[in-house]
C-alpha cells in the first residue's frame, strides 16, 4: 500500500496508555487492588472508541493490540472515531454484584483523565455489559454534576441507550452475508448456513438470517451443537436454550461436536463464538465456500492462507462484525443531541453504512487483487493515514 514510513512509525505505537490500580472494598471488609488499563491507539479521525474487558487474561499488550484493531474497524465503516480499548484483570464471575459495582465505579474514576464524550467513549466487551456501562455513566455524571449519557455506549435504553443496539452486531453480520451472496450471484433461499456460538451475536445472526430466507443447518454453543440439513428453526433453538441453558440434545436435529460443526456440509460458515477456531488443523476440511467472521479473530493466519489457496471467501471480522460499533456511534450521536431515533431508523442507517463499507472493501480487494482481510486493513489504515497527513504532525 506504499504507506509513508513516517506515518507507519506513528501508527505502530498507541498514542497513550494508562495503567491504574483499582482498590476495591470486598463484601468481607478486606481491600483488593485490581490492575486496570485504558489505551488510546489513535485519535486522528475523532475521539477514541472501544470496549472495556473484565477477564483474568487481560494484559497491557492485549489492550494495546485491541485498541489498534478498533482504529482500523472504525475507519473501515468510516465513522468518525479513533480506536481505544480498556480492561481490568479480574474474573467478574467471582465478584458479588456490589463488589463489581464498587470496582467499576473506582475504575471509572481512575479513567477520568482519559474518558469523556469528546475524548474517549467506552463500551461493553468480554465480561462487561449494559449495567457496567450504566455505573460508569453514573460515576462520570456525578463528577460533572449533570447526566452525561454520551460518555459510554451500550447503555440500557432507560438511560439513553439506542434502539436496535442489542441486535446490531448480528444485523451487521446479516447485511454482510446477504451482500456476499449477492456479489457471488447465489440465491439467499438456497444458502445453507452454519453458525458457531449462540450468544448475543450468534443467536441474533441465526434469527435474522432465518428471517431473510437462509436455511440454518447447524448451530452450536460451548457445549456442542445440532445439525439438520432440512433446516433448524430459531424459536425451537431459543426455547431449548432457555429451558436447559444449552442447545445440546435439541430434538430438531442430530447432535454434533463443535469440531464437527465447523466441518459440516454448508455454503456459509459463521464463527460467532471465540477466537482461533479455524486453524491449520481444520482449514482443509471446511466445506463452506464463504466464511463470515462474526467473532473477533476466529481464523488463524495459517488457516487464512489455506482458505486463500482453496478459493474460500473470508469476510473479515473488522468488516463483518462492525455493526455493533456502528450502532454505538448512533447511540453517541443520539445522546449528544438528546434526540432519539426509532428502531427502523437505526436499522436503515446501519444498513446504509454496512453496505457502503462492504462495497468499499470489495472494490479495494478487486482493484489490488488481495483478499478481503488485506483490503479492509488497507482501507482502514489509509483512511487513518490520510487524516493524520491532513492534520499534520504537532508541533
Ligand atoms: P456471548 O458470550 O454472548 O456468546 C458466545 C457464544 O459462544 C455462547 O453461545 C457460548 O456458549 C459460545 N462459545 C463460547 N466458547 C465456545 C467454544 N469454545 N466453542 C464453541 N462455542 C463457544 O458473546 P458475543 O457477544 O455473542 O460475542 C461473540 C463473538 O463476537 C466474540 O468474538 C466477540 O468479540 C465478537 N463480537 C461481539 C460483538 C457484540 O456486540 N456482542 C461485537 C463485535 C464482535
Per-residue model confidence as pLDDT tens digits over 83-136: 999 999 999 999 999 999 999 999 999 999 999 999 999 999 999 999 999 999
Ligand 1 pocket, residues with Cβ under 6 angstroms: 169, 196-202, 220-222, 258, 272-274, 294-296, 321, 324
CA of 201 relative to ligand 1 center, distance in Å: 6
Task: Quote the cell numbers at residue 143.
Answer: 463528577
CA of 267 relative to ligand 1 center, distance in Å: 21
pLDDT per position as a tens digit, 256-288: 999 999 999 999 999 999 999 999 999 999 999
pLDDT for the residue 42: 98
CA of 351 relative to ligand 1 center, distance in Å: 22
State percent of the chain over pLDDT 70: 100
pLDDT for the residue 160: 96
Q: Whose CA is nearest to atom 18 of ligand 1?
A: 222
Helix or strand run (H / E) with residue 179: helix 168-184
CA–CA gap between residue 357 and residue 20 (Å, rounded)? 36
Tell me if residue 250 falls in helix, strand or coil.
coil
pTM over 0.75: yes
Question: What is the rounded average pLDDT of the residues 167-189?
Answer: 98
Strand-pair category, 268-271 with 290-292: parallel
> Which one, of 132, 102, 109, 129, lies nearest residue 30 by Cα?
102
Q: Assess whether 73 carries a catalytic annotation.
A: no
**Number of neighbours of residue 188 by Cβ within 10 angstroms:** 14
Tell me if residue 265 falls in helix, strand or coil.
coil
Residue 314 · residue 291 · CB < 8 Å: yes
Ligand 1 nearest-atom number relative to CA 169: 40
Which of 83, 162, 169 best tests ligand 1's pocket when mutated (most atoms within 8 Å of CB)? 169
- Catalytic: which of 85, 182, 238, 287? 85
pLDDT for the residue 101: 98
Tell me if residue 16 falls in helix, strand or coil.
strand
CA–CA gap between residue 300 and residue 307 (Å, rounded)? 11
Q: Whose CA is nearest to atom 15 of ligand 1?
A: 222
Residue 155 · residue 161 · CB < 8 Å: yes
CA 89, distance to chain mean position in Å, is: 20
CA–CA gap between residue 203 and residue 357 (Å, rounded)? 24
CA of 189 relative to ligand 1 center, distance in Å: 26
Question: What is the rounded average pLDDT of the residues 29-37?
Answer: 98
Strand order in the sheet with 82-89: 16-25, 31-42, 82-89, 48-55, 120-124
Amino acid at each position: 500500500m506504499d504507506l509513508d514510513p513516517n506515518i507507519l512509525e506513528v501508527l505502530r505505537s498507541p498514542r497513550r496508555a494508562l495503567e491504574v490500580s483499582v482498590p476495591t472494598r470486598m463484601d468481607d471488609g478486606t481491600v483488593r487492588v485490581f490492575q486496570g488499563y485504558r489505551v488510546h491507539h489513535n485519535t486522528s479521525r475523532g475521539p477514541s472508541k472501544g470496549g472495556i474487558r473484565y477477564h483474568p487474561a487481560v494484559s497491557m499488550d492485549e489492550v494495546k493490540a485491541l485498541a489498534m484493531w478498533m482504529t482500523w474497524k472504525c475507519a473501515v465503516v468510516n465513522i468518525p472515531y479513533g480506536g481505544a480499548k480498556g480492561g481490568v484483570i479480574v474474573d467478574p464471575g467471582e465478584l458479588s454484584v456490589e463488589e463489581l459495582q464498587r470496582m467499576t465505579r473506582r475504575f471509572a474514576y481512575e479513567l477520568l483523565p482519559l474518558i469523556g464524550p469528546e475524548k474517549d467513549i467506552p463500551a461493553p466487551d468480554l465480561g462487561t455489559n449494559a449495567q457496567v456501562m450504566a455505573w460508569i455513566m453514573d460515576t462520570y455524571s456525578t463528577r460533572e454534576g449533570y447526566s452525561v449519557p454520551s460518555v459510554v455506549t451500550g447503555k440500557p435504553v432507560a438511560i439513553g441507550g439506542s434502539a436496535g443496539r442489542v441486535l446490531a452486531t448480528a444485523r451487521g453480520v446479516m447485511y454482510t452475508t446477504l451482500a456476499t451472496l449477492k456479489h457471488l450471484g447465489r440465491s439467499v433461499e438456497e444458502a445453507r448456513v452454519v453458525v458457531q456460538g449462540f450468544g448475543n451475536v450468534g443467536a441474533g445472526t441465526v434469527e435474522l438470517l432465518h428471517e431473510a430466507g437462509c436455511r440454518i443447518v447447524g448451530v452450536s454453543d460451548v457445549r456442542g451443537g445440532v445439525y439438520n440439513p432440512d433446516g433448524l428453526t430459531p424459536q425451537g433453538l431459543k426455547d431449548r436454550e432457555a429451558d436447559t441453558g444449552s442447545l445440546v440434545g435439541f430434538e430438531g436435529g442430530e447432535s454434533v461436536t463443535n469440531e464437527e460443526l465447523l466441518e459440516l456440509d454448508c455454503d456459509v460458515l459463521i464463527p460467532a463464538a471465540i477466537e482461533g477456531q479455524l486453524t491449520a488443523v481444520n482449514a482443509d476440511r471446511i466445506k463452506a465456500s464463504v466464511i463470515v467472521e462474526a467473532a473477533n479473530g476466529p481464523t488463524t493466519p495459517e488457516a487464512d492462507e489455506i482458505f486463500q489457496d482453496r478459493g474460500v471467501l473470508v469476510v473479515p471480522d473488522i468488516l463483518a462484525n462492525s455493526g455493533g460499533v456502528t450502532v454505538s456511534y448512533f447511540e453517541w450521536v443520539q445522546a449528544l443531541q438528546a434526540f432519539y431515533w426509532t428502531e427502523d431508523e437505526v436499522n436503515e442507517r446501519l444498513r446504509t453504512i454496512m453496505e457502503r463499507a462492504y462495497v468499499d472493501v470489495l472494490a479495494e480487494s478487486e482493484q489490488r487483487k488481495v483478499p478481503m482481510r488485506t483490503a479492509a486493513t488497507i482501507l482502514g489504515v489509509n483512511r487513518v493515514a490520510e487524516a493524520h497527513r491532513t492534520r499534520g504532525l504537532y508541533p
